[in-house]
Structure 1
């Protein structure tokens, strides 16, 4: 486990890290750590390796992240690194807490209107398998089928939220 507590100070109110020591000439002690990468995560460089700030914070609180696990932002805000917003998950769990895609037209993950048949289709994907939940005459029925499937498969309550 890396001893990040020697390098960083964690602010539990903001979820931000500050530099305790200058690890290079460009670092000012007391300044905030990281920059936002193209995916929206705060990242920094430690000992020549680029790493997500959320991963550092997790390891400062809970120890090394086991192989095959990721740190999930529960509320989907990628720069909200408060420890209560972070959880350790495997890829399957991570996929059960995703934001709704921008191109979604129904407003509900896994529910779509089928113009050709004038019905609403509900489906769900879990562990790499897509399951058709049915075709429904109305939006509400399709949504209900999707919710039942999410609960039975252990999806996070924030799945499909913004």
Structure 2
């Protein structure tokens, strides 16, 4: 059975303060009024509905908007995988979602690498589905600052 907005609203309520779904009715071991979803090893919340596991953030999107557009994924704007406030969710194409993921990792240093031969720090980011490299910097701090500036520009556009 495909889950639609009507079925989700029959099964659950949404708490705006917490960004969590609550059971509207008893569902097997899930009791009325109880929180919906348990954590996955990747940090997302998932729950079982009609004998199938579903990511809770996708259920919340469908609960509010009726469907996920074809070819889109639901992304957490603040990169916190269990923060399912509807204001924190957005529909992105898989390419857009990968680019945001790559850009987010760069602020933690994943987009900044050290080149032993030149003894310089380089910034590498994914832009428009293409990995781009930027000139070498003398310090890691400077490279991280540049990566953050580029990331900020990408987020605006």
Do these two structures clear the TM 0.5 threshold for a shared fold by scoring above it?
yes
Give the CA RMSD over aligned residues: 2.5
1:10 aligns with 2:14: yes
Larger proportion of helix: 2
Separation (CA, whole Å) in 2 of partners of 1:132 and 1:72: 26
Show the counterpart of 1:110: 111
Unaligned runs of 5+ in 2: none
Moved over 6 A (4+): none
TM-score (norm 1): 0.79
**CA displacement, residues 113-141 of structure 1 (integer Å, 9 cap, x when unaligned):** 21221112122123442122222334455
Show the counterpart of 1:132: 133
TM-score (norm 2): 0.81
**CA displacement, residues 1-43 of structure 1 (integer Å, 9 cap, x when unaligned):** 34211110100000111111223x3121111111111211111
| Greater RCO structure (CA 8 Å; 6+ sep) | 1
SS in 2 for 1:133: strand
1:65 aligns with 2:73: no
Aligned length: 151
Unaligned runs of 5+ in 1: 158-162
**CA displacement, residues 45-76 of structure 1 (integer Å, 9 cap, x when unaligned):** 11222111111111111120022211111112
